[in-house]
Amino acid sequence: MQHWRSLVSASALLAWTGLGFAQTSPYPSRPIKMIVPLAAASAVDVAARIVTQKMADNMGQQIVILNQPGASGLIGAEQVARAQPDGYTIGGFNDSIMTIVPNLQSNLRWDILRDFEPVSLVATVEWGLVAGNQTSYQSAADLIAAAKTAPGRIDYSSGGPGSPQHLAMAMFSAGAGISLTHVPYKGATQAAADIAGGQIPVGFQGLGTVAAMVRGGRLRLIGVATPKRLPQFPGVPTISESGLPGFVFNSWFAIMAPARTPKDIIARLDAEVLKALGDADVRRKLEDLGFTIRGDSAAELGAMTRAQLEKYARVIKEIGIPRE
């Protein structure tokens, strides 16, 4: 797929140099704003800054990232949905905003399928279970054993109600038959910082958020939520092999635009994402942080969004997380 996508990308970029699109003011003619409805230094924010810097270099136009955390991403997502569909305001979203929040909120002021245009699934964010150095947990099995002896007495942090951190731990707890106490924060970064600071013992986190803290010894990575061990952390067992067989969890970094953004602009942005992901330095930085490079097209992202909306509707119902 990557070879074919590269050919498509090259064709799209050639068209934009003047062979296919006759425009009086070629896009982009001014800076592009990317709204990230998540805290600075969160996994998506880190990936967005790496990828958009290369996109900006290639396009010759600045891409400015604006973080709008809070309310599980609702506020920032609405700003993207209500923006002019001209390609100058786009969103850097995770799959929580796209497929989890719509299954948890009863009165959303936007619809992910109606009010947005998919651009690209840039990368998947691999996840892990982290513990503070003040704990004795060395594996997922250790946490499960401790929780069974003290039901409800072990806290875990998340980026807020309905965040991926919340859902991942709810799925983990349900699968392991344990009870933990949820402590929501206003973003993934602070949720991770308080585990490192000793205020909270454990939590799930995207590795893009915590890789530096793990390598620096501030956090202990006790399990990865992947089917196989990650080459970036070869000594860390999967949760499946070390406590909960079959447990896998990851999330996305996807780029979305307001509905009715012209198809030629979507195609240009999609092509520029793929071009940026072809850069060896970009790939290395993302992979070092625990991301898996994707570069899936707008059409593929749209299909995945619809499928995951349905999947999380089932999961959330089974777990029993109520709508707000």
For residues 235-252, one letter each, b for 16 or more C-beta atoms within 10 angstroms of the residue's C-beta and e for the rest, the string is: ebbbbbbbbbeebbbbbb
Query: How much is the pTM?
Result: 0.77
The closest of 34, 28, 32, 30 to 65, measured between CA atoms, is 34
Residue 89: closest CA among 98, 77, 97, 100: 77
Beta strands in the chain (DSSP E): 32-36, 63-67, 89-93, 116-132, 155-158, 181-184, 202-206, 219-224, 250-258, 291-296
Residue 19 has pLDDT above 70, yes or no: no
- Residue % of the chain over a pLDDT of 70: 93
* Residue 204: both structure tokens together: 């799930």
Evaluate if residue 11 carries a pLDDT over 60.
Answer: no
d(CA 247, CA 49) in angstroms, rounded, equals 30
Q: Report pLDDT for 4.
A: 41
Measured between alpha carbons, how far is 18 from 78 in angstroms, rounded to an integer?
Answer: 34
**Neighbouring-strand partners of residue 257:** 117
| pLDDT of 7 above 60 | no
Q: How confident is the model at residue 260 (pLDDT cuts 50, 70, 90)?
A: very high
pLDDT tens column, 269-322 = 999 999 999 999 999 999 988 899 999 999 999 999 999 999 889 888 887 778
State both tokens at 17. 């140099």
Q: Which of 59, 70, 45, 77 is nearest to 291 (CA)?
A: 45
Beta bridge mates, 155? 181
Residue 210 neighbours by CB under 8 Å, 6+ apart: 128, 130, 192, 219, 221
Q: What pLDDT score was predicted for residue 41?
A: 85
pLDDT reading at 22 higher than 50:
no
Query: Does residue 72 have a pLDDT over 90?
Result: no
> Given a cut of 50, is residue 15 above it in pLDDT?
no
What are the structure tokens assigned to 196, written together?
């490192």
Contact (Cβ atoms closer than 8 angstroms) between residue 58 and residue 98: no
Average pLDDT, the chain: 90
Q: Which domains does the chain have, with CATH numbers?
A: 2-125+252-319 (3.40.190.150), 127-242 (3.40.190.10)
